[in-house]
DNA sequence: GTAAATGGTATTTTTTTGGTATTGTATAGG
DNA sequence: CCTATACAATACCAAAAAAATACCATTTAC
């Protein structure tokens, strides 16, 4: 991770960052890195000594740049530990009783949602996928993985597997998977979700900016056509501290 | 066996395992060993002292690496015995689309369910309870807490608060709260559940027999009469490693 | 029951990281 | 010319994390 960050603080980038004293340039550089998401909420900055070395300035200069951002509340210092991008998040609710896209869902709550694609590709199905999607031997499956982000806060990781028959080329999906399926006249009408809690492993925790072992809400969804044929299989992992579902139930028939 | 494992934990492999503190490298190494099947489910890890020697680090460092994997639920420690790769726990499903009692639910799945009462009593309502149940000043609330056990395995903690008006004496409830309410002609017809994931605190983890920080499924339910009046407010905490919910959705109306 | 093996914990030391005081340098204003 | 101020560098301080050491508690084997 540190080697990636060294790029942010290279002397060349600082000089190109406009006029003013060194610490102002550094501050702008840092501010930009946070703003564009290069440094995400909860991330630790490299140690001041390292930044100073990368940027070829003294540590005090680095501190002065950071001072301003701390005063703005963008960064938080912890003595002996490090400097971190501030992280409070508000909880979001989702109505379980309807199946909507993440983007629509966030928009309804007045949050700006975006995604970062982690992967798009077409593959030979895993045994799980074959069974769940009911695939014949020789058929392929499209896999799409993305990081769901709301108000610049990573909120969930989503892995979708779609039968290649319904989506031969995953690259065409840019925003909504459902919209793309709709274009192809593929309209799921029913879905089953399995909801469970799990402790996050390192890779997922890292992506979502939470500590290893943090509670996550795992949701597996299979959606079906009217014919009963399975279309799509999605596994999502939501941050437990930032998301919850609301379900409305009616008491009655078994 | 031991000589094979020494290869896994050799200092060279640790150094090559990327950046970060020793214990992080060790954790990655262990995680990988489990993932690729070098360490299979049920296998015992070598003793911490041996790993420490192989990897040329202290035992505490080894423990710290293992700590994280235990927090993720990948490994399980047994004092005096060893550390083992976790066996998969058979998960129990619950249909979210209907509101049933725990006992019925388990019975349907062929499991013997029982409860241990942790508390029964009548109290002055907390602000939360007053607001949610819509209680007037001076009214009381019945609180019932129990540990839900399925096949001698603690599965959930349940705290119920019922308006004193509907249940003046909590002591009369022996098995089913709903049955008792039914007797009094109190029939909730609708409920709203909020589902979220959380890391368990010590007191809850102790009751459920899981490590502190383990993922739990938290479910808050408020049930209503036909009139719209709130009857009962229940907070449940299920073991994340042994329970999941299944929800069936229909795509359509907002 | 005892001893060996194994995980658990408390304490200490070392390393890492932010915090602060001091000094030097250049520039603007009197 | 001197001084006040902003900027930057050096050196040292303090808190936290990482790692090592030593000892405790439980389980298992005999």
Over residues A101-137, the pLDDT tens digits come to 676 666 656 667 788 899 999 998 887 788 778 777 7
| Distance in angstroms (rounded) separating the CA atoms of residues A237 and B111 | 29
Please indicate, yes or no, whether residues B107 and B185 belong to a single structural domain of this protein.
yes
Which of residues B36, B64, B83 is at a domain's end?
B83
Task: Return d(Cα A238, Cα A240) in angstroms, integer.
Answer: 6
Nucleotides of D under 7 A from a protein CB: 6-11, 14-22, 25-28
Please check whether residues B95 and B166 belong to one and the same domain: yes
What is the CATH classification number for the domain harbouring B35? 1.10.10.10
Nearest residue, CB atoms, B191 vs list A202, A241, A249: A249
Candidate from A1, A190, A246 with C-beta closest to B192: A246
pLDDT, chain B, mean: 79
Verify that A119 and A75 share a domain, yes or no.
Answer: no
Closest Cβ–Cβ partner in A3, A199, A244 for B72: A199
- How many contacts, defined by CB atoms under 8 Å, are there between A and B? 156
Is residue A239 domain-resident? yes
Asked, for residue B252, whether it belongs to a domain, the answer is no
B95 with B57, same domain? no
Question: Is residue A254 situated within a structural domain?
Answer: no
What ipTM was assigned to the predicted interfaces of this complex?
A: 0.56
Average pLDDT, stretch A198-214? 88
Task: Check whether residue B22 has its CB closer than 7 Å to nucleic acid strand D.
Answer: yes
Co-location of A171 and A214 in the same domain: yes
Prediction pTM value:
0.62
Q: Burial letters for B13-46: b for 16+ Cβ neighbours within 10 Å, e otherwise?
A: bbeebeeeebbbbbbbbbbebbeeeebeeebebb
Domain membership of residue B249 (yes or no) is no
B contacts of A1 (beta carbons < 8 Å):
19
A220 CA to centre of own chain: 17
Specify the pLDDT at position A252.
45
Averages of pLDDT over runs of 10 residues in chain B (254 residues) are: 56 58 84 74 85 88 88 83 72 52 64 84 86 79 91 88 90 82 79 83 88 87 78 90 72 39
State the pairing for strand pair B190-199/B230-239.
unpaired
- Residue ranges making up the domain that contains A160: 90-244
Taking CB atoms and an 8 Å limit, are B197 and A238 in contact across chains?
yes
From the CA of A80, how many Å to the C1' of D14?
8
Helix, strand, coil shares, percent, chain A, to 5: 30, 35, 35
Cβ–Cβ < 8 Å for A231, A223 = yes
Q: How many domains does chain A have?
A: 2
Nucleotide at minimal C1' distance from the B76 CA:
C7
A159: closest CA among A199, A112, A203, A197?
A203
With tokens 């006992």, the residue in question is: B103
In the numeric block, the tokens 């000089």 are attached to A15
Beta strand extents in chain A (DSSP E only) = 75-78, 82-85, 92-95, 113-123, 141-150, 153-163, 190-199, 215-224, 230-239, 243-250
Query: Which of chain C's bases lie under 7 Å from a protein CB?
Result: 4-11, 16-22
Q: How far apart are CA A114 and CA A106, in angstroms?
A: 9
What pLDDT, on a 0 to 100 scale, did the predictor assign at position A88? 45
């Amino acid at each position: 991770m540190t080697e990636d960050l060294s790029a942010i603080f290279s002397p060349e980038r600082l000089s190109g960052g406009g006029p003013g004293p060194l610490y102002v340039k550094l501050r702008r550089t840092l501010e930009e890195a946070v703003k564009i998401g290069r440094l995400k909420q909860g991330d630790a900055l490299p140690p001041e000594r390292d930044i100073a070395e990368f940027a070829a300035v003294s540590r005090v200069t680095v501190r002065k740049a950071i001072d301003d951002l701390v005063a703005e509340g963008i960064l938080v210092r912890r003595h002996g530990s490090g400097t971190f991008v501030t992280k409070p998040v508000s909880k979001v609710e989702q109505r379980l009783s309807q199946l909507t896209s993440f983007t629509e869902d966030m928009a309804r709550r007045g949050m700006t949602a975006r995604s970062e694609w982690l992967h798009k590709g077409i593959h030979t199905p895993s045994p799980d996928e074959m069974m769940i999607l009911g695939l014949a031997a020789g058929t392929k499956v499209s896999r799409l993985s993305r990081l769901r982000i709301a108000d610049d806060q990573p909120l969930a990781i989503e892995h979708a597997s779609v039968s290649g028959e319904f989506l031969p080329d995953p690259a065409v999906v840019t925003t909504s998977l459902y919209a793309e399926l709709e274009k192809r006249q593929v309209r799921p009408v029913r879905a089953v979700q399995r909801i469970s809690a799990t402790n996050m492993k390192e890779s997922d925790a890292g992506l979502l900016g939470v500590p290893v072992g943090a509670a996550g809400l795992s949701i597996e969804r299979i959606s079906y056509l009217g014919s009963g044929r399975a279309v799509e299989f999605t596994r999502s992992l939501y941050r437990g501290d930032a998301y919850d579902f609301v379900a409305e139930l009616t008491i009655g028939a078994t």
